[in-house]
Each structure stands twice: as C-alpha cells, then as structure tokens.
A = this chain, B = another copy of it.
C-alpha cells in the first residue's frame, strides 16, 4: 500500500486525482499563532518580517505543524507581499494593522518604473528557506511553495495597505485599464518567475492566493484577475522546473467564477466555505481537484461538532478522487491545537 497511501504522497496523488487510501489534509496558516511553538519562534525572531526573512527560522515554523499533527503537506512560511517588496515598494508591518507599503503605486508613471525581480537575487532568502525545508522534511511530506495573484498584489500595491472594499484599486482599474494591465502583466511575470524558482529550489506543489479576486464583479474578475492567473499557469507549464509541479489556485469569495478558474490550466482549485463541494464539483466537472472547504470558525466549536462538520465536508465532496481537505480560509489564532488534531484524525478516518 505504501505507494498509494502514505503521508509522503497522499497530497500529490489527490492533486493528480489519483486514488488515495485516506483524504489528505493540510491547513491554511497551519504555521501560525494558534501554536505555542510558533509564538515562541516568532518572539525569538523579533518581528514577522524577520521570521519570514531568516531561512532557519522560517524553516523551523514551517515544520512545526507537520511535526505536531499528521498533516499531509507542509507549506513554506512566507508572505505574498515579498514580491512587491522585492520590486522596491518597501514592505513593513504595523503592529495590529497589517502590512503596509512605503512607496505605493499611485499612477501610470509609478508602474513604468517597476521591474520583474530576479528571485535568486532579491528573494534569495525565500529560495534558501525552500531548500532548507526540503532538507529538514526528509521526504516525510511534500512542500508547498506559494505566491500572491497579480490582482491581489496590485490591490496592496495601489492601496498601499489592506482595505475594507479596495475601492481605490477598482477605480484605478476602471479609469486606467491600460496602466492596470501593464501592472498586472509585470506582476504575472514576477510571480511566475518567483514560483518557478521555488520549484527549482524544491517546492513540490505551488499555490497562488487570490485573496481579493472575490471583490470583483464577474466581468472584472475575468479581465483583471483570471486572465493573469491563466498567464501564470501558462508560464509555469513552459518552465523546465515547474512544468510537472501541480498548481493550486484559490480565489476566495469568487465562487461565481469557478468555471473560468478551472479553465486556467491549474491542477486544483481552493474553495471557500460559502459553497458546498458538491455544487463546486458539479460546476468544474473532472477538470481539476478541489481543496477545502471547512469554515475556520468550526474549529472554535466542540470536538463533537468538529467531527460532524468534517464528515459533512467529506460527504459533500463524495466518493470521487481529487479532494484535498483544508479549511475555507486560514486558521485563526484563538483555535485550541487539540481541535486541529481532532480535525486531522477525522479527515483521515474512513
């Protein structure tokens, strides 16, 4: 059974929609503040950015959750905003306020000055972390590399920080579509190069987080988000190292656009919890695997409720190949780690 079933390949087999002995599971933000060992390393690092930019510490927190739980994949500890930071926008974190850029993009002239960073130069610390994680994981579970979607990066680059409604970036896209397309094109090439370098450094799956694609009406989603996700998928298919590395796309809140996303050339789609996996499967057919989709708030309920809701998600997906269990969004800091163990055990149980 070892070749179809153990923890080292369950995740990759499910992404390829091949049979597995148990549904694989990993958790978005599994290396995070709900873990006391993460909080200890984070304190030692001094800041979130120092943690992300020191390969030894990033590797340490990447491995913590797979050592504590029977998770089927590790995901590199990093941040999607490393790429615009490498473009010179000056990423910094304000305690309690989230990420900010010192030099946001405010005009077409600002966009002309942007270039595609060389990942092995200005993002070397990420590639070193990937190499270190692969070494330390010793083949126990696959390592996922990741980046942000061109649209989501543009949201932060133009707003300069997070936003309630991203009205400024939407107005920019509507009023200056040509400039926006230039920016998205640069972002797509930068993210594709970044992901390809992670694959070359050892990442065994790649994921693109389109955290803010769901803020767009369908016509704008196709024009400003999906088009550039497809471009990344195409660029990666033509890359020596990334060609055979499965790509997962996750556009949170963009469930109206699942068909478009499934046509992008990716291997799998992340799905948030506001649609059943049954409904999602009917929409995308056999084109892609699905990853998701338990409401993260479920982990605040009792173990009994967690078991029931995990079984509901598995039942929703049904007896098909190609399910990677995950939450529909990142795990929150107030979750009891024991509850994560309950989740993982229930996912693996028949």
CA distance A176 to B7 in the complex (A): 36
Binary contact readout A178-216 vs B (1 if CB under 8 angstroms, 0 otherwise): 000000000000000000000000000000000000111
CA distance A295 to B334 in the complex (A): 34
Residues of B with C-beta under 8 A to A114: none
Closest B-chain residue to A328, C-beta based? B217
Binary contact readout A276-294 vs B (1 if CB under 8 angstroms, 0 otherwise): 1001000000000000010
Residues of B with C-beta under 8 A to A332: 165, 167
CA distance A298 to B332 in the complex (A): 33
CB of A90 within 8 Å of the partner chain:
no
Contact call B296/A165, Cβ cutoff below 8 A: yes
Interface stretch among A15-23, A74-82, A238-246, A248-256? A248-256
CA distance A301 to B295 in the complex (A): 35
Closest B-chain residue to A168, C-beta based? B300
Contact call B334/A300, Cβ cutoff below 8 A: no
| Interchain nearest-CB distance for A271 vs B (Å) | 11
Using C-beta atoms within 8 Å of the partner chain, give the interface range for chain A. Answer: 35 or more
Choose among B215, B275, B305 the residue that contacts A175 (Cβ–Cβ < 8 A): B305
Tell me the A207-266 residues at the B interface (CB within 8 Å): 214-220, 253-256
CB of A112 within 8 Å of the partner chain:
no
Contact call A167/B256, Cβ cutoff below 8 A: no
Contact call A275/B167, Cβ cutoff below 8 A: no
CA distance A309 to B171 in the complex (A): 12
Binary contact readout A27-62 vs B (1 if CB under 8 angstroms, 0 otherwise): 000000000000000000000000000000000000
- Please judge, given known A-B contacts A253-B253, A255-B255, A276-B256, whether A167 and B334 are in contact too, CB under 8 Å: yes
Residues of B with C-beta under 8 A to A297: 165-167, 170-171, 174
- Please judge, given known A-B contacts A165-B332, A297-B165, A305-B175, whether A216 and B274 are in contact too, CB under 8 Å: yes
Closest B-chain residue to A167, C-beta based? B297
Contact call B175/A302, Cβ cutoff below 8 A: yes
Residues of B with C-beta under 8 A to A167: 296-297, 300, 332, 334
Residues of B with C-beta under 8 A to A255: 255-256
| Interchain nearest-CB distance for A48 vs B (Å) | 18
Closest B-chain residue to A254, C-beta based? B274
Choose among B168, B175, B295, B334 the residue that contacts A170 (Cβ–Cβ < 8 A): B295
CB of A312 within 8 Å of the partner chain:
yes
Residues of B with C-beta under 8 A to A171: 297, 300-301
CB of A125 within 8 Å of the partner chain:
no
Residues of B with C-beta under 8 A to A174: 297-298, 300-302, 305, 309
The contact sample of 12 A-B pairs, CB cut-off 8 A, is A166-B297, A167-B297, A167-B300, A170-B298, A171-B301, A175-B305, A215-B274, A217-B273, A217-B328, A218-B276, A219-B312, A255-B256
